[in-house]
Amino acid sequence: MEEEEAFIVLKRHVSVPKHVFLSEPCHLRALASDLTAAFEVERTRGAILNNRQDIISFKRLNDRVVDLLKGYSLAGNGDWRQYAAWNDQSYLRHLLLATEEFEIMLLCWRPGQTSRVHTHADSHCWFAVLAGEVRETQYRPFAGEEGVSEASLNAAGGAMDLVPTKIINNSVGDVGYINDRIAMHSVGCCPSERPNPRQEVTSPEENGMRTALACTLHIYSPPIRSAKALEDGKFMACIPGFFSRHCILTGSDPIKHAAIATA
């Protein structure tokens, strides 16, 4: 196999499935309510909500979550902007809602900002692009283990050679999914010399100056309390942090924190 064929590059094509109902308007609070109902359905049926979930239960939940995220992203309501903030040094994580079953986060990226390669513990991870374009790179251990085992992460003091297996460029309306049984990954905002004006957003801190920023909406189930991220060639335990915390179902005022999350 040639070197350039060692991984797959994909570009999702945005389309709206006929069965997706785009309400007018499609608000973030309504999305949160619908997601809460979807997870509640599976919980009341006795499903264990993690990456080892029963396949039938997971398919039902996954179809619903993907439809809801795609519908919200393509509706273009833009009410997520009231929670958005960007930073020159790091992408920012804004917690919008946390329940026992799942959590919703808004991640704000400047061009070139990328997360570390990281795991997701036992959780499902969905993400939808709300603005701009982001690139997901998936990895597996060089030794060829399927997914991400705790044993492989702890081997040799956490050191691990990684092989990129897939690169996916995601635009507005695209929805991605991953868990540790599939791969580990990194996500980042693609630098662009010629940003698409239709995908530009304006940061309140920039006094109207338009720039090629990106925003993604993430769903983790169950909420991630600890994970592992690649740091200086080794996978280190990390506790996810947030730049701001909100509760979009009750409309509480945001609580901004001075520290920038780097997880």
Sign of CA dihedral 54, 49, 117, 157: negative
How confident is the model over 22-32, as pLDDT tens digits? 444 468 999 99
Please tell me the distance from the alpha carbon of residue 159 to that of residue 152, in angstroms, as a whole number. Answer: 9
Exposure b/e, 44-56, CB count within 10 A at least 16 = b: eeebebebebeee
Confirm whether residue 120 is marked as ligand binding.
yes
What secondary structure letter does DSSP report for 118? Answer: B
Specify whether the backbone of 219 is left (phi greater than 0), alpha (psi in -120 to 50) or beta. beta
Confirm whether residue 185 is marked as ligand binding.
yes
Q: 162: which strand partners?
A: 141
| pLDDT in the model for residue 1 | 37
pLDDT score of 206 more than 70? no
How confident is the model over 132-190, as pLDDT tens digits? 999 999 998 866 555 565 555 555 455 667 889 999 999 999 999 999 999 999 999 97
**HEC-encoded secondary structure of 179-229:** CCCCCEEEEEECCCCCCCHHHCEECHHHCCCEECCEEEEEEEECCCCCEEE
Which domains, from first to last, does the chain contain? Answer: 3-256 (2.60.120.10)
Residues 6 or more apart whose CB falls under 8 angstroms from that of 231 comprise 116
Residues 6 or more apart whose CB falls under 8 angstroms from that of 196 comprise none
Q: Output the pTM of the full model.
A: 0.78
How confident is the model over 85-98, as pLDDT tens digits? 999 999 999 999 99
| pLDDT in the model for residue 146 | 58
pLDDT score of 71 more than 60? yes
Sign of CA dihedral 13, 198, 191, 216: negative
Choice between 194 and 190, residue whose per-residue pLDDT is larger:
190
Residue with tokens 């919200």: 72
Burial class (CB in 10 A: 0-12, 13-18, 19+), 37: exposed
